[in-house]
Amino acid sequence: MPRDGAPDRTETAMSATTLPTATAPLPPEAATTLHPADLAALLDLRQPEAAWETLAALPLARRAETFGYLSATTQVAVAAVAPRRALAELVSAMDADERADLWARLPEEAREALAPALAAAEREDIRKLASYPPGTAGAVMTSDYAVLRPEMTARDAIEALRRQAASKETIHVAYVLSTGRRLLGTVTLEDLVLSPPDRPVSQIMHADAPAVRAEEPAEQAARIVARYDLPAVPVLNGGDAMVGIVTADDAMDVAEAEATTDFHKAGGSASLGVALREATIGLLYRKRIVWLVVLVFANVFSGAGIAAFEEVIAANVALVFFLPLLIDSGGNAGSQAATLMVRALATGEARLADWGRMLGRETLVAALLGLTMAGAVSLLGLVRGGPEIALVVAATMVCVVLVGSLVGLSLPFLLSRFGLDPATASAPLITTIADASGVLIYFAIASALLMG
């Protein structure tokens, strides 16, 4: 709730979106009173020229913070219309990781124009951060972290943090380094304040600080931050020297991006890479068509299975009534199992070594689910086709739920085993496999029980 009767920030942001045109800059009261994240959300809806005019009127620190909240597409567009000197000033004021991200998004000609206007230290910092492959911890880290020496006293350390505070991402946690930038431990500002002034930092620090390698996936850094409830996790290079930190807010962004990618893959499409509202028709088409075409051909097997049992179907037309129900049940059971396993593998709750134990448990669970569903569908079988049809339908239900569940469980493990993303075991893929196998199971059981 807002204090002192002030208007709610969200309401203010919503009212600002009612401005008559996206080509005009925001009113000064909106630009100065909104939180930078809310202000950036409004600027994302405006033309680049109007967005830059609004940003240019802000103090440099607020301008850089707001710019960091803009979408990637808007950042590039605004950078294209900003004067070179003003853009260089803005880039210099940005956090190191956000600066490197922007640099990676800019076209080559924009980089060449901007580089001479940046200080040599900033260019070198951008070069180092941008050299790590996308998706790694090094690619999302920042080099703005507080450093202390082990021989410092608590009093000296606090004074050192006071000097570093203006240019660092955070001073709540400082990193104790040796002369070779080897990580010796971490110390919090609270630890320093509560310790005797003359106590050495080496006696205050926590020597067992978790860390991540720069070449490791960024998701690993996010897991460490979440597991140990850290404000940031240190990043080490191949020589064990500390090169940066991944902060909690960046870890949250990584986790959100990974969840979004997995969600897209689970739906049978590739990640868009941009906000949905900014995606073009061509991009949406390209990201979705591949899986749909693959699944079209995969579904041919279902049709072939039906064609192979034409005589059974002709002699027992009531079987057709239950076909969609049965194959959908197998696909649904498989999608459930796959969703659980993909998420467990992504979060580290399950490992490849757990497959055998989880397969046995899933077999029992799937059998219980299948028997319960078979009991329900057998009643329909009795009404529509009599006892024989009811037996066929019930037996098929148990089998398709069992097969669908085991495929849904095993496919993510199999993909992981071959170094592929388990999220590729998408719901459409599982459903297609379950459909084809369900048709064969259904009519094979029907043929054995009704035509034998």
- Whether the pLDDT of residue 17 is over 50: the answer is no
**CA neighbor of 161 nearest in space, from 151, 171, 173:** 171
Q: Does CATH number 1.25.60.10 belong to domain 9-131?
A: yes
- 392, containing H or E segment: helix 387-417
- Whether the pLDDT of residue 40 is over 50: the answer is yes
What pLDDT does residue 13 have? 42
- 244, containing H or E segment: strand 242-247
Question: What is the rounded CA–CA span in Å between residue 264 and residue 186?
Answer: 38
163-213 confidence digits (pLDDT tens): 888 778 788 899 999 988 899 999 999 999 999 999 999 999 999 889 999
414 alpha-carbon distance from chain centroid: 22
Ranges of CATH 3.10.580.10 domains, the chain: 147-248
Phi/psi for 197 (5° steps) reads -55, -30
Ranges of CATH 1.25.60.10 domains, the chain: 9-131
Which amino acid is present at 253?
D
CATH homologous superfamily of 147-248 = CBS-domain (3.10.580.10)
DSSP class of residue 352 equals G
Residue 43, SS3 per DSSP? helix
pTM (2 decimals)?
Answer: 0.60
66-101 confidence digits (pLDDT tens): 999 998 889 999 999 999 899 999 988 888 878 888
237-258 confidence digits (pLDDT tens): 988 899 999 999 888 888 877 7
Q: What is the mean pLDDT of the chain?
A: 83
What pLDDT does residue 19 have? 44
- Whether the pLDDT of residue 24 is over 60: the answer is yes
- Whether the pLDDT of residue 21 is over 60: the answer is no
How many percent of the chain have pLDDT more than 70? 88
How many percent of the chain have pLDDT more than 90? 36
Q: Is the C-alpha dihedral spanning 151, 156, 157, 163 positive or negative?
A: negative
What pLDDT does residue 262 have? 64
Q: pLDDT confidence of 221, banded at 50, 70, 90?
A: very high
Q: Does CATH number 1.20.58.100 belong to domain 299-450?
A: no
3-state secondary structure 177-208: ECCCCEEEEEEEHHHHHHCCCCCEHHHCCECC
Locate 443 and state its tokens.
């009519």
Q: Are 57 and 68 in contact (CB under 8 A)?
A: no
Of residues 432 and 22, which shows the higher confidence score?
432
Ranges of CATH 1.10.357.20 domains, the chain: 299-450
- Whether the pLDDT of residue 234 is over 60: the answer is yes
- Whether the pLDDT of residue 3 is over 80: the answer is no
